[in-house]
Structure 1
Amino acid sequence: MNTYESEREQLEALQKWWKENGRAIISGILLGTIAISSWSSWQVYTTQQAEKASLHYEQLSASVKSNLHEEAIKQGNALVEEFPNSGYAPLASLVVAKVAFQQNEMEKVKAFLQLAIDQEKSEAVQQIARLRLARLLRDEGKWKEAMVFLDGNVGEFSSLYEEARGDILLAQGNPVEARLAYEQTSAGNNRSEGQSRVRVQTKLGSLGKK
């Protein structure tokens, strides 16, 4: 507002300004209060959901340690369905996939690995799931499908991916290309240390000299 010479003029101007803008201000304050309240409520809700998901994951882990496989699968499935956006969902998918593998329930293995791949919480979990699914499809003789999961970002798992690629190429009857893939593992990172490196060297040895 402008500055007026008398208080009366200022008061009249204030009354006029309030008449024109008061409703909008009140609405803005109410909306702001609602927004703050909604954000606070959302934060509380998110925290509660995270705590519930954490509890479910602890129960799942306990069942796995106790070899309660069927119970673990049920708990993992419930966690993924009830808390799909939590950070525990992709981890639970990996855990349950492993349990299902031990139970020889391969369709469940593939389903849970695919769930881990489809999530967007952790690239590392996606990369592990893709590698495991590729290996599973390789064992089923589905080599082309397996190769699809070996493409894309592999993060710190490049050596393990190249080893899996070499295994598939060898199974397809391409020893030359398989050798190249195995040799790439030594150019990868430290994920190929230890048993993995020894395993690859054994595979290279079985292929003989160039």
Structure 2
Amino acid sequence: MAYDLEEQEQLASLKAWWAKYGNLTSWVVIAGLAAFSGWNGWNYYQRNQAAQASTLYDEMQTSVGKDNAKVQRAAGDIQSRFGATAYAQMSALVAAKSAFDANDMKAAKAQLQWVIEKGNEEYKAVAKLRLAGVLLDEKAYDEALKVLAGDSSPQFSGAVADRKGDILVAQNKLVEARAAYKAALDATDKKNPGRQLIELKLEAIGGSVPEEKAAA
């Protein structure tokens, strides 16, 4: 059926618009579809990576307490292949504990340092506390304090202050240690079972627990 005059004018306008903008519009649409497809592909990739890392992590767990060398190899494999997943950070912490138990301090420190450099804030905080503990055992006091230096997230501030107190006691810096333990008490919830140990340590070095803390 033939177009009437108005339809012909509309068609002519559409053709003119398409001639000017059609190619650009096509690219925008294609780019949008590609982005959507890429997003779905990325999500699938992430899920697939996590699933594979989870399998390796579970396999690694079976060697904990039995074969430290195998644990270290498995952790290294997870970190190299699936470093962007939480399993990589978890595997490093497990491998650090395995190495510590096997008296392999070099491997323990390397695993904890990996988490400090690659992990998210929570895993990083845990790794710093554990590394500082290893360095405390090695009497590397200044290095241990350096690991704990800087700001820490509120949920770990009590544990960080407590660990600093332990290091300062080992250095026989009792005034500073008392201040650290008091800071630990201030940052630790009254219902936390660890408070009593902090109080005992504070009192053992001549400190006094504030009345409001003692009554908690």
Q: How does 1:143-182 map to 2 (within 5 A)?
A: 143-151=141-149, 152-182=151-181
Q: How does 1:176-191 map to 2 (within 5 A)?
A: 176-190=175-189
TM-score, length-scaled by structure 1? 0.84
TM-score, length-scaled by structure 2? 0.82
Separation in 2, partners of 1:74, 1:19: 61
CA distances 1:58-103 after superposition (whole Å, capped 9, x unpaired): 1122222x62322111111111111111111111111110001111
Identity %: 33
- Change in Cα spacing, 1:171 to 1:23, as seen in structure 2 (3 Å) is same
- Change in Cα spacing, 1:41 to 1:104, as seen in structure 2 (3 Å) is same
Deviates more, 1:166-175 or 1:47-56: 166-175
Separation in 1, partners of 2:140, 2:159: 19
Q: How does 1:51-66 map to 2 (within 5 A)?
A: 51-64=51-64
How far is 1:197 from its partner?
4.1
Separation in 1, partners of 2:182, 2:6: 90
Could you tell me which residue of structure 1 aligns to residue 128 of structure 2?
130
Separation in 2, partners of 1:36, 1:63: 41
How far is 1:172 from its partner?
1.8
- Structure 2 portions without partners, runs of 5+: 209-216
Could you tell me which residue of structure 1 aligns to residue 14 of structure 2?
14
How far is 1:190 from its partner?
3.6
- Structure 1 portions without partners, runs of 5+: none
Could you tell me which residue of structure 1 aligns to residue 201 of structure 2?
203
Structure 1 residue identity aligned to 2:136: R
- Report the secondary structure of 1:6's partner residue: helix
How far is 1:49 from its partner?
0.8
RMSD of the alignment, in Å?
Answer: 2.5
Question: Does 1:74 pair with 2:44?
Answer: no
* Contact 1:93–1:113 under 8 Å retained in 2: yes
How far is 1:112 from its partner?
0.8
* Contact 1:53–1:86 under 8 Å retained in 2: yes
